[in-house]
Amino acid sequence: MIQVKALQVSYVNEIVELVKVFYPKELVVSSEYIEIQAKKKRKRIDEKYKEFDFINDMVLEIGYKFDQNSFVFFAYFKKSDKLIYEHKESYPNKKDEDEALSNNSSNKRFIKNGLKACVFDLLVKATGKHPKWGAMTGIRPVKIVHEMKDLGLDEKAIRQELLSTFKLQPEKIDLVMRTAQIQQALIDKPGNNKVSVYIHIPFCSTRCLYCSFPSDLIGRVSGKMDAYLDCLEKEIAFIMDELLKHGKEVDTIYIGGGTPTVLEHDHLERLLKQVNELIISRFTILEYTVEAGRPDSLDRHKLLLMKKYGVTRLSINPQSMNQETLDLVGRSHTVEDIIYVNNLAREIGFDCINMDVILGLPGETAEHMKGTMEGIAALKPENITVHTLAMKRASVFKESFQQYDISRKGLAEGMAIVCREWIDNQGMEPYYLYRQKYMLDHLENVGYGLPGKECLYNIQFMHEKRDIWAFGAGASSKIYYPEDDRLERIGNVKNLDEYLARVDEMIERKQKALQRL
């Protein structure tokens, strides 16, 4: 086990996550966690921690000081109080000590980045590894680039900062810079009154074994669907009225899940009609996405309904074009279903289709990914989103599929290279990017699109500079306060029955946020 002691900072969990990148098979915890368990006298310690000795473990101590007009960051790796590795970095600073250590955002950012860089260099020294995303632990690397641009840094200075402070390798710098460049003309400008709407349909026909999202099987809850749509209508209607009063403009709509198109025809039409009457008829909508997801949830009637009610963008997500993989991960459809539904959507007139693939699905290699990309390229989607398998606690694969199996190390990276070759040939560019914990080979998720076909909702969602009003069980709104440059999350309860019983409370939570606008 590795203990992380970072007594001067409040973001010790970010340091813990960085250490896990270098030591994926080790239990890594903060010293605060150890203290909590000691106070409990270990009577209620989690089962997974029982085998560890909390005394004879490795300790990573980190900190900083201001000494003779210089910041000094230090990191020590110890075992049984014996020093194994150490690293120190010093940065000249012309400020006096009080000013340098004051609690303003610039100083906090400088100290945080300096500490993480120091820890990263120590871990490189200790392990010989150099992860391509460097010391960057956040899920939104592109947002950092935009923030540096807002501070007045030019491209050369940003690249140098990504290299020297964040320790990114050149290929990741190129990726994040290119993504930021594509986004620049599409992200909100200060004072923009635009907002987005997200509608959550947390139901699926079956559960994919890699999925960690909370959702109900449609067969279990179909009798509650009218009540669910009643609550959605009530929630959406109230907030749309309030947004109009406050001079806000909805310009993007995203219906996600789950699998929204798993709804029966009459329920899907009712949902689309609600969106049309409550939102589309009252605002100028630039983009309207439905996450169809699984091709077995679609037919001609549903596609015609979505076209009739103004949907402009569809996600038809194969994940893999290899039938053995689809069967293994619990996707109850065939490769032929993917092709048929895509062609049907084209025939009906949809001109913006997204397709997802997942790197690192069990049993797959770069050769399998070549077959998947060849099949997808033949369908000519406007967007391709490349996800990397992330082994979350809530997924069925968590126990059965070893994320860090030595025999699989580097396979996801090899598959990513194959993806990029095919995507480059399609003339697509990266337009949004995010990262998650526990991703294979320390990779990322990237959305690629043809010019002019980027998903505006995804860009704004990741940029986090606008309000996202979210509706339905488990949906989480994000309200942006530009004067403080901060987000406030307003979550709806996840349990379906709780949502149905407490929808008025969900509306009241949003109403309080509206009163502060």
Domain co-membership, 368 together with 246:
yes
- What are the pLDDT digits (tens) for 290-340? 998 889 999 999 999 999 999 999 999 999 999 999 999 888 899 999 999
Per-residue confidence at 38, pLDDT binned at 50, 70, 90? low
- Residue 347 to residue 341: CA distance in whole angstroms: 10
- Is the pLDDT score of 102 beyond 90? no
Domain co-membership, 201 together with 181:
no
Range of the domain at 289: 196-511
**Which residue among 99, 124, 149 closes a domain?**
124
**Is 176 in a helix, a strand, or coil?**
helix
What average pLDDT does range 421-443 have in this prediction?
93
CATH of residue 306: 3.80.30.20
Domain co-membership, 296 together with 149:
no
What average pLDDT does range 273-286 have in this prediction?
98
**Long-range own/partner contacts, residues 324-330 (CB < 8 A, 24 or more apart):** 324/363, 325/361, 325/362, 325/363, 325/364, 325/368, 328/209, 328/361, 328/362, 328/363, 329/208, 329/209, 329/210, 329/361, 329/362, 330/206, 330/207, 330/208, 330/209, 330/396
Domain co-membership, 327 together with 460:
yes
Task: Tell me how many domains the chain contains.
Answer: 3
Least confident of 70-74, 295-299, 387-391: 387-391
Q: Is residue 191 part of a domain?
A: no
- Is the pLDDT score of 393 beyond 70? no
Per-residue confidence at 51, pLDDT binned at 50, 70, 90? very low
C-alpha dist (Å) from residue 479 to 196, 233, 238, 465, 507: 10, 21, 16, 9, 14
What confidence score (pLDDT) does residue 211 get?
64
Sign of the torsion angle spanned by Cα atoms 178, 179, 182, 187? negative
- Is the pLDDT score of 377 beyond 90? yes
Q: Is residue 221 part of a domain?
A: yes
pTM of the shown model: 0.90
What average pLDDT does range 372-376 have in this prediction?
97
Domain co-membership, 415 together with 307:
yes
Q: Is residue 336 part of a domain?
A: yes
Higher pLDDT, 45 or 481: 481
